[in-house]
Structure 1
Amino acid sequence: MLGVEAQKSPKGKWTMPPFDPRFPNQNQIHNCYQNFLDYHRCVKAMSRCGQSSQLCEYYFRVYRLLCPLSWVQRWNQQIQDGPFAGKI
């Protein structure tokens, strides 16, 4: 879906994502997955409207901090191939 250059971290470094009250526990797996889905939904919605996907940067930054790279690569491959379980 996105090339390697497009998936590099945006400018400005975060050491940890901001607190999200939807995910108050220490285990952040669901937070990782939800932000991955939110990012791809945001990009899809912005492209439909013909707008820049720069507004989706927040979700990108959060999932890149929380999700292991191997998961992200597997999910992106599944999105391209078709069997991805999440609804985007």
Structure 2
Amino acid sequence: MDYEDFKRVVRENGERRVAQGGLVPIPELRRQCPSLDRQAFDAFVLTLHREGAVHLLSHVESDKLSEAIREQCVVHSTGTLLYWLRWL
């Protein structure tokens, strides 16, 4: 999967979730992209953010997420655990 394919998957997920504010759980999105390793997936997410295509948000109760789910989130360079992605 290349960056443009990934971007399409993210956009489609966001559009399907309009009723929920367009919020897509990053762990769920990661499971939909099994061909991407962690480094590539995280880089694509952060590139979308830098380009202004998405907002990245933390989970309100991230300390209550299971370790398995926490491992599937993206960690921002500031150390913030990012759980949600919103297509803009």
What range describes the TM-score normalised by the shorter chain of this pair? 0.3 to 0.5
TM-score, normalization by structure 1: 0.37
* More helix per residue: 1
* More strand per residue: 2
Structure showing greater Rg: 1
